[in-house]
Amino acid sequence: MTQFDLPLDQLRTYRSSQSLPDDFDAFWQTTLEESRSLGAPPRLIAVDSPIRIADVYDVTYSGFGGQPIRAWLKVPRGLDRPAPVIVQYIGYGGGRGRPIESLHWLAGGAAVLVMDTRGQGGTGSVGETPDVDGASAQAPGYMTRGILSPETYYYRRVITDAVRAIDAVADIDLLDADRIVAAGTSQGGGLALAASALSPQIRGVVALVPFLCDFPRAIRITDNAPYSEIVRYLSVHRESVEAVLSTLRYFDGVNFASRGQVPLLASAALMDATCPPSTVFGAVNAWQGRSSVNVWPFNTHEGGGPDDHERALAFIHELLD
């Protein structure tokens, strides 16, 4: 792979062509109010685990429509007060995995809640939360499930789940509701951007090589999945271009970024054809709060790997210590 996108100096000033729906805020306010009205307190079950540095809990909380969402909660042992917490969202296709995964966040001394992604978990890491809502015809994958309307689109449910995960950790006595960070890579980064724009309880956000950003550009400059799922769908449903693009406006990281106020750490890889760097900068450059970007000139979608994570921990320490 080569550097195929805009030069770095142009990326730093790039502005997405994405537009904001007039009812964007009302749409999300109504969606979240409806789901909160149907919710129940989170349920924790202690789990036997060989992890000696943390207590592990199997969590079930209420997501979109009050539907049960699974998560792992790992709380460092030996703390004498409620723990700061990182809410982690998972990359495309993966679920919450096993408790032994995602231990690098514990190294920073914070608790970690790992959200299961509804309907996913068949690749990469296992998941246990179904997506119970039906949908119309779709291309293989999740990107076009219910895409003809914002009300039926798959990511309406997933983003609501992501925000309700923040609500859940704020209700758990073991955790400090005043020290919450949203974090994720790829799809997880896109969900972290969305949750941080919709939840006033988040102190900061880590979005590494984020997905779900700048749809108008992404579907035109890369052939890579998952964006290519939308292209395949539109190549058959030619009459639905306007409806699809209209729906995506409600779920674009660029539009969530226009509501983002807390500190943001992002990363972009200049050879990344899965989440092209211009789509990442489209969101970052729309962010309303303080932001910084780790730029990796010779990496693809793996981004900075452990170097991204090390910088993320330093960023989280700055926010929470």
Active site residues: 186, 272, 301
- d(CA 269, CA 303) in angstroms, rounded, equals 5
Measured CA distances, 82 to 6, 69, 73, 79, 285 (Å): 45, 23, 13, 7, 35
Per the listing, tokens 């904001």 go with: 20
Cis peptide before 210 (omega within 30 of 0): no
What is residue 68's three-state secondary structure? strand
| Contact by Cβ (8 Å): 269, 174 | no
Count of other CB atoms within 10 angstroms of residue 137: 12
| Contact by Cβ (8 Å): 68, 118 | no
If we measure between CA atoms, which residue out of 62, 228, 253 comes closest to residue 157?
A: 62
Residue 21 identity: P
Q: Residue 21 pairs with which residues in a beta bridge?
A: none
DSSP codes joined into one string, 237-261? -GGGHHHHHHHHGGG-HHHHHTT--
Beta strands, E only, 106-156: 111-115
Token pair of 261 as six digits: 């106020």
| Contact by Cβ (8 Å): 96, 114 | yes
- d(CA 316, CA 108) in angstroms, rounded, equals 8
